[in-house]
Amino acid sequence: MEQSLINELKNIVGEQHTLTDRESLAVYGYDSTPELESCPGAVLLPGCTDEIARIMRLCHGAGVSVTARGSGTNLSGGSISDNRGVVLQTSRLNRIIEVDEENLTATVEPGVITSVLHREVESRGLFYPPDPGSMNISTMGGNVAENSGGLRGLKYGVTADYVMGLETILADGDLLRTGGKVVKDVAGYSLSPLLVSSEGTLGIFSAITVKLIPKPQAKITMLAHFPVLQDAALAVSAIIAARVIPATLEFLDKVTIKCVEDYAHVGLPLDVDAVLLIEVDGHPAVIAEEAAAVEGICGKHRCSFFQTAQNADEALKLATARRTALSALARLKPTTILEDATVPRSCIAAMLQVIQASAKKYNVTIGTFGHAGDGNLHPTCLTDERDKDEIRRAHAAFEEIFDAAISMGGTITGEHGVGLAKKKYLPRLVGESGIRAMRGIKQAFDPKGILNPGKIF
C-alpha cells in the first residue's frame, strides 16, 4: 500500500488507530477459518460513522479494497481481507446508542459485543434472542453481516428476524438508511434484509436497530441420553411434530460428548451415541406442559436417561456442555474444520447417516453437534492442515455432505456464510440464475468491487 494513501488514512482515523506494523498485519490476516490467511495493507480503527464514510470515499477513489471486521470469529473466511487491502476494525464503535423501551428496540454501533447487548436489555426485562456460539466475543456488525444464528434459533429465529433498521456506508462513502423503528414498512424494495447476510460485500454498517421482545418469564433445561443415534434424531422430529417448539433443541454425538466431558467435566455419559439438550422457555404453566411432553417423547424414543435441571446452576452446567462443544473438539487436533450443512428438520436422521458414512469412507474423524431442531448440524472434522492427504480426504467428505444436503432440499451453510470457504458450492445450490441475480446486485452496489472482494462468488 502506498505511503501517501496510508498518510491520508491516518489523517482520518488518527495515527494511533492506523496499524501497519508487521505483527498487526499478520494478526488481522486471520479469522477463525482454517487454511486461510492474507496480508492486509493497513488496519484502521475508526471511531465514528463519518470516519467510515471518509475511509470509503478515499479507498473508492484509490480503488483499494475494504474488509470490515469485528472480532474475527467468522468460520468461512468472510473477514479475511485482500492482500494489501484495508481492514476496517470496528472495535472502537462499541456504544449501545439507545434502548427504546416503548418501541421495544435497541440501536447499537457495529462493534458492540453480542452478549453485552444481551445483558443490557435483560436488565430491563427485555430480550434479544440471537445467541451465536461466539456471542461472548462476536460483534453485532458481524452478526448482521453474516445473519448469525444461535442456540435459540428454533423458537426465536435468527439475526435477520430482529434487524429493523440499518445505517450503512456504501462503497462510495454515501450513507444509506433503511428501515427504522416501524414494525411494518413496505416502502420500496426491502433493503435491510438484503444487507443482512451480505458478508460485508454491499456496505459497512455504522448503526443497527434491532427488535427486542419481552424476556421469557421462566425456562426449563433438560438433557436426554440416547444409546442409539437415530433415536435422538427421530425424537427431534417428533417433538416438533407434537407442536412443541423448544427455545433450544441441540444435539451432541459420541465424539463430541467425549471431548466435552474431557474438557469441561459436566457429567456427560460416555456410553451413549447421542444426547439432546432441550430448553423450553416462557410462561411457567406453558413450559411445565411442554417439558412433560418432551420427556414423554424422549421416553418413547428409547432415551436411557432424562435429566431436568433443578436450579439455575444445574441448567447452566447442562447448557455449558453444548456451549463448549467447539472449544472441546478443537483441543483434540491442530486443525478444526467446522461446517454447517443444513437440511429441512425432517431430514436430520438421514443427514446424520450421511455424515457418519462419509467420515468412515474417507477415514476422517468427524464430531457432530448442532441445532438439531433447525436441521442445522455442525459436522466438525478434527485434522491437521500439515497432513495434506488427510485434509484432501476431509474436503472430499464435506463435498459429499454438502451435495447430500442440497439433494435433501437443504443448504450449504445455515449460519456461517459462504465467504471464501464455500464459494465452490454456491452455484450447485442457487443455480446460474441465482448467481446472476447476486452478481447483478453486487454490481449495483459496488461496481468497482472494493467491498470485501472475493467473497460469496
Which residue in 38, 81, 197, 368 binds a second copy (CB under 8 A)?
Answer: 197
Q: Binder to a second copy among 61, 299, 334, 434 (CB under 8 A)?
A: 434
Q: Is 370 left (phi over 0), alpha (psi -120 to 50) or beta?
A: left
Please choose, from the candidates 202, 205, 165, the residue with its C-alpha nearest in 3D space to the C-alpha of residue 183. 165
Could you tell me if 250 and 276 are in contact, meaning their C-beta atoms sit under 8 angstroms apart?
yes
For 415-426, letters b (16+ CB in 10 Å) and e give: bbbbbbbbeebb
- Using CB under 8 A as the binding rule, whether residue 63 contacts a second copy is answered as no
Binding of residue 49 to a second copy (CB under 8 A): no
Q: Which segments of 45-87 does DSSP mark as H helices, in order?
A: 49-62
Angstrom distance (rounded) from CA 108 to CA 129: 15
Smallest distance, Å, CB 384 to a second copy?
A: 28
* 218 lies in the binding site for a second copy (CB under 8 A): no
Q: What is the distance between the alpha carbons of residues 274 and 109, in angstroms, rounded to a whole number?
A: 40
Site for a second copy in 90-119 (CB under 8 A): 100-104
Q: Which stretch binds a second copy (CB under 8 A): 30-38, 40-48, 181-189, 256-264?
A: 181-189
The stretch among 33-41, 295-303, 326-334, 428-436 that binds a second copy (CB under 8 A) is 428-436
Closer Cβ to a second copy, 69 or 422, answer by number: 422
Q: Closer to a second copy at the Cβ: 225 or 371?
A: 371
313 binds a second copy (CB under 8 A): no
Residue among 360 and 436 whose Cβ is closer to a second copy: 436
- Does position 125 bind a second copy by CB under 8 A? yes
**Amino acid letter at 305?**
F
Q: How many residues comprise the chain?
A: 457
Choices 14-22, 26-34, 374-382, 392-400 (CB under 8 A): range interacting with a second copy: 374-382
Q: What whole-number distance in Å separates Cα of residue 387 and Cα of residue 147?
A: 33
Q: Write down the least CB distance from residue 372 to a second copy, Å.
A: 12
- Distance separating alpha carbons of residues 26 and 338, to the nearest angstrom: 23
Closest CB to a second copy among residues 125, 334: 125
Question: Which residue number, 269 or 419, has a Cβ lying nearer to a second copy?
Answer: 419
Comparison of 92 and 211: residue with beta carbon closer to a second copy: 211
Q: Cβ distance 143 to 130 under 8 Å?
A: yes
122 binds a second copy (CB under 8 A): no
Of 137 and 194, the one with the shorter C-beta distance to a second copy is: 194
C-alpha cell at 327: 472449544
Q: Does 160 bind a second copy (CB under 8 A)?
A: yes
Q: Which stretch binds a second copy (CB under 8 A): 264-272, 295-303, 380-388, 417-425?
A: 417-425
33 binds a second copy (CB under 8 A): no
Q: What are phi and psi of 37, to 5 degrees?
A: -160, 165
Contact between 350 and a second copy (CB under 8 A)?
Answer: no
306 is a site residue for a second copy (CB under 8 A): no
**Does 73 help bind a second copy (rule: CB under 8 A)?**
no
Q: Least separation, in Å, of the C-beta of 213 and a second copy?
A: 8
Residue 336: strand pairing partners: 382
For residue 143, state whether it binds a second copy (rule: CB under 8 A). no
The residues facing 89 across adjacent strands are 69
Contacts with a second copy in 376-415 (CB under 8 A)? 376, 409-415
Please classify residue 34 by burial: count the beta carbons closer than 10 Å to its beta carbon, then call 0-12 exposed, 13-18 middle and 19+ buried.
Answer: buried
Give dist(CA 421, CA 67) in Å, integer. Answer: 16
Of 198 and 368, which has the nearer Cβ to a second copy? 198
Cβ-in-10-Å burial (0-12, 13-18, 19+) of 284 comes to exposed
Yes or no: say if 343 and 409 are a contact pair by the CB < 8 Å rule.
Answer: yes
Q: Which helix (H) or strand (E) holds 106?
A: strand 105-108
- Shortest Cβ distance from residue 11 to a second copy (Å)? 25
- With a CB cutoff of 8 Å and minimum separation 6, the contacts of 226 are 232, 235, 272, 273, 274, 275, 276, 298, 301, 302, 303, 304
Q: How far is the CB of 347 from a second copy (least distance, A)?
A: 9
State the CB neighbour count (10 A cutoff) for residue 187: 8
When binding is defined by CB under 8 A, the residue of 188, 310, 388, 389 that contacts a second copy is: 188
Residues 238-297 contacting a second copy, CB under 8 A: 240-241, 243, 245, 282-283, 285-286, 289
Q: What is the closest distance, in whole angstroms, from the C-beta atom of residue 427 to a second copy in the complex?
A: 10
Give the nearest distance from C-beta 302 to a second copy in angstroms: 20
Regarding 424 and contact with a second copy (CB under 8 A), the answer is no
